[in-house]
Amino acid sequence: MGRHTRLTKPRGRACAAARQKIVLEAARIMAEEGVRDFQSAKRKAAHRLSLPEEQNWPGNDEIEAALRQHLALFQKDSQAVLHALRASALEAMTLLREFSPKLVGEVLSGAVPRFPEVQLHLAAPAPEDLSLFLDNHGIPYAMEERRLRYNDDRAVAVPVFRFVAGETSFALYVLSPEAIRELPVSPVDGRPMHRAGIREVEGLLGP
């Protein structure tokens, strides 16, 4: 029994150390190389560290926490960048007020990668309503589909309008007025996604 304990403790410490190495390297990759997907960042980190994938695999929430720390330590202008992104988000939300915009994702959480984007959830009876709005305001855009996941293991394809204003990239997810009442799960921790309306974003920006 004692021998088994002596053997497993070092192995446990080695696993924890490997896990922490992946966490720190994945956070660095997201901060400095612009990788947005947590799984991709973890796989890159494991490869560079010559560690097997899927072993000692950290959670996305661990990577996000390390990303925040990395930004605070190594990117001294990160708070100014975040403030500017949130200000841009608020400006867009004010313009899009009729679509009940909600800020989600990295600009809301504060864990922004090197090439961040402002992600907004909008409510519209049909995607054409938003396309007409953007056309009327002279905003060129590209369309794609992304998947939102829900607690019952559903993955729903959602139309996304992408455009760039100044140096800020935007991704507008269009949901029906009924669908937007249901919160998708966060890709970070699997919990219901946090959304912020105009007033909350104003509060984040301060007086």
Check: CB of residue 188 under 8 Å from CB of residue 61: yes
pLDDT > 70? residue 10: no
Do 115 and 134 belong to one domain?
yes
Average pLDDT, the chain: 88
Total domains present in the chain: 2
For 122-151, give one letter per residue: b (16+ CB within 10 A) or e: bbbeebeebbebbeeeebeeeeeeeebeee
Residue 67, domain extent = 2-74
Per-residue DSSP letter, 163? E
Mean pLDDT of 85-98: 97
Do 69 and 82 belong to one domain?
no
Do 99 and 201 belong to one domain?
yes
Do 42 and 114 belong to one domain?
no
pLDDT > 80? residue 14: no
pLDDT > 50? residue 50: yes
pLDDT at 158: 96
Lowest mean pLDDT among 67-81, 109-123, 159-173: 67-81
pLDDT at 1: 47
pLDDT > 50? residue 164: yes
pLDDT at 15: 83
Binned at pLDDT 50, 70 and 90, residue 147 comes out as: very high
The pTM of this model reads 0.76
Residue 121 bridge partners (DSSP): 102, 173
Do 95 and 192 belong to one domain?
yes
